Amino acid sequence: MLLPKRYLITPDPYDAGHPALFLEQLKRTLDSGIELVQLRSKKLNSIHYMHLAEKAMALCEQHHALLLLNAHAPLSAQRNVDGLHLDSQSLMACDERPLPTAKLVAASCHTMAELEKAQSIGADFVTLSPVLRTASHPDAEPLGWDRFLALASRTTLPVYALGGLSTDTLPHAERHGAYGIAGIRCFWKP
């Protein structure tokens, strides 16, 4: 499967103020051509996350976009979407690929050990972050482009650059070993 070059990580639905507003914003973002989406929420309980995932899945299907849920999504929700995105903690706790190969498995990586773990469980792609300073993680030390290249070049997995990027960053990211770019603010249409 050829992965899109842009990977949207949604802001937390609570940040939009109301689920209906969040879904309107998701639709606007999908209208802009996004084809790969992670429904990210650390604040919703599993019932509300599942309800929102069903609606997000319908929107993604209408736009021919792939939808990945967070690793902590209920198992019943995982069956109906295109895949899962593992945070680094969930990744390191995995002994094997959590879904069959017909579904996508992605992982958040920050170190070589995490990249190696993602490869060993058969992940389909990873995000590597933070490349630059980012408002969402202001205390995280950025990798910078040289370190990003050094890490990305040591894995065979497609690597999405994440952290402090803009939509114009894609060519620069590709020159530094990225398959594509991932982000929240650079793609989200409030």
* Mean pLDDT per 10-residue section of the chain, whose length is 190 residues: 94 81 96 96 85 94 96 70 94 94 96 98 98 86 97 98 95 98 94
- Distance from C-alpha of 125 to C-alpha of 67, rounded to nearest angstrom: 14
Per-residue model confidence as pLDDT tens digits over 148-183? 999 999 999 999 999 999 999 999 999 999 999 999
Beta bridge partners of 69: 39, 84
Per DSSP, 98 falls in state S
CATH code, residues 6-183: 3.20.20.70
- Distance from C-alpha of 52 to C-alpha of 49, rounded to nearest angstrom: 5
The model carries a pTM of: 0.95
- Distance from C-alpha of 106 to C-alpha of 83, rounded to nearest angstrom: 8
- Distance from C-alpha of 69 to C-alpha of 81, rounded to nearest angstrom: 7
Where along the chain do its domains lie? 6-183
